[in-house]
Amino acid sequence: MRSMRVTPTRLFLISTVILSYITASGIWLIHFAPNLIGSSSEFEVVAGFFGVSVWLIASACLALSVIGAPPAPRHPAEPFNIDTHVHMIVDARRYQWLRDRGRVIDIDTCLCVGNDDKFYFGHELDKNVDDAMRLARLKELHPCAD
């Protein structure tokens, strides 16, 4: 929702409108509506019920206009797929396991990430994975760049 600055003039106008609404509602409900509804004239009874219903509808409309509509999401969320979420968590755990240098005891027998003759761990591994992902994304967006 859009935030609005509260100025003294706006605060005075809002207070005046609220006070006028409460006063008009009180006068209608305390003085006129009971007399109309309790009247022996059928027309006055119908007018009394009609007046009360119009007052209730106007109150609801006024409340909705003051409260405002709920803010719409800026980017509509895609439907949640639990399988995709589980695969993402598993991949994150695998990556975390790969980047942990303490797990690699023997470079010949343990799983590690290497490029040519260099092995990557920790920050270097993160950087190389990020670079490879960016390059793949660029190739996907711009296939003619090969």
Q: What is the pLDDT of residues 45-103, one digit of tens each?
A: 777 778 778 878 888 887 777 666 666 666 666 777 888 888 888 778 777 766 665 66
Q: Buried b vs exposed e over 17-49: b needs ≥16 C-beta within 10 Å? A: eeeeeeeeeeeeeeeebeebeeeeeeeeeebbe
- The reply to whether 114 and 64 lie within a common domain is no
Confirm whether 75 is domain-assigned. Answer: no
pLDDT tens across 7-44, in order? 788 778 778 878 888 888 777 777 766 766 677 778 77
Say if residues 18 and 12 touch (Cβ distance below 8 Å): no
CA distance 138 to 110: 32
> Residue 106 — φ and ψ, nearest 5°?
-125, 120
Give the global pTM. Answer: 0.33
CA distance 146 to 135: 11
Query: Once rounded to an integer, what is the mean pLDDT over residues 114-129?
Result: 73
- The reply to whether 88 and 133 lie within a common domain is yes
Say if residues 101 and 120 touch (Cβ distance below 8 Å): no
CA distance 114 to 129: 11
pLDDT surpasses 60 at 2: no
Determine the pLDDT at residue 117. 75
Domain extent for 20: 8-68
Of 75, 52, 58, which is closest to residue 21 (Cα–Cα)? Answer: 58
- The reply to whether 64 and 12 lie within a common domain is yes
- The reply to whether 98 and 58 lie within a common domain is no
Determine the pLDDT at residue 1. 47
Of 66, 65, 32, which is closest to residue 50 (Cα–Cα)? Answer: 32
- The reply to whether 15 and 57 lie within a common domain is yes
Confirm whether 137 is domain-assigned. Answer: yes
Beta bridge partners of 110: none
Per the structure, the count of domains in the chain is 2
